[in-house]
Structure 1
């Protein structure tokens, strides 16, 4: 139980906060007349925030990139540079139009970096050039036919070593 900080009597209830001689004290109602009342700002709890409602997860529609395999043409660097120069743009202007860094455009035009499919799509629409072609699977490579007839397991390796020791 709390007591009055001025006279020492037990407090009934919460007590009153007053300013006496430059100090804020919790006092009884009888001693409250010796000071001026202090208004305390309401306490802000860290946990009073309303819980946020989670938005329902929408199913992601399959994009064109998922439907078909695309790859960037081999001479992409020359095509991009020629189209940019034909429009009279600098690398900075092109970077601004496709919302990329100038260093990325510089690396793509030098051939040091192959543009990712989304960036290649942006470049196609801005420069009006064809950069993406459907990926062609080689006639000679088919994952189903060239795959092993069985999977090699740890047990198979142990048997092979065991057979060699005999």
Structure 2
């Protein structure tokens, strides 16, 4: 929990959450935005999205590659899920194919005294005990 929620409380235990290791590294860019940090990542099923959109438009891989300034082999590997596009290339593909390839993840633990915290904190749902109850 954030320091604002923890004021005057006694820590009785620590919970650790893990989602496991991802199968391959993800392309990510972290940017500062008013009120916190935003991390941009490529969606998991990017290859299928790109292939479906390209086929829907009736384009070959060569045509798509020329439109975004890449090699055909790069597009083929991206569609097969063997190569994750960079954030810059994903933006180009989004624009050309009119699809969504980039997700924004916000740091939910961010507290800004200027803007306040929006959302539920662990302090809102946790039950605290006095040291005498242990």
TM-score, scaled relative to structure 1 = 0.42
Cα offset, 1:137, TM superposition: 5.9
Mapped partners of 1:138, 1:78: distance in 2: 29
Mapped partners of 1:88, 1:71: distance in 2: 27
| 3-state SS of paired residue (1:120) | helix
Question: Which residue of structure 1 aligns with residue 57 of structure 2?
Answer: 87
Cα offset, 1:136, TM superposition: 5.7
Question: Which residue of structure 2 aligns with residue 147 of structure 1?
Answer: none
Q: 1:74 to 1:137 in 2, by over 3 A?
A: farther
**Structure 2: gaps spanning 5 or more residues:** 1-28, 33-37, 110-134
**Structure 1: gaps spanning 5 or more residues:** 1-63, 140-166
Asked if residue 66 in structure 1 is aligned to residue 15 in structure 2, the reply is no
Mapped partners of 2:91, 2:30: distance in 1: 10
CA RMSD of superposed structures (Å): 2.1
Which residue among 47, 60, 71 is the counterpart of 1:77?
A: 47
Which residue among 101, 120, 124 is the counterpart of 2:71?
A: 101
Q: How many residues align?
A: 76
Cα offset, 1:126, TM superposition: 0.3
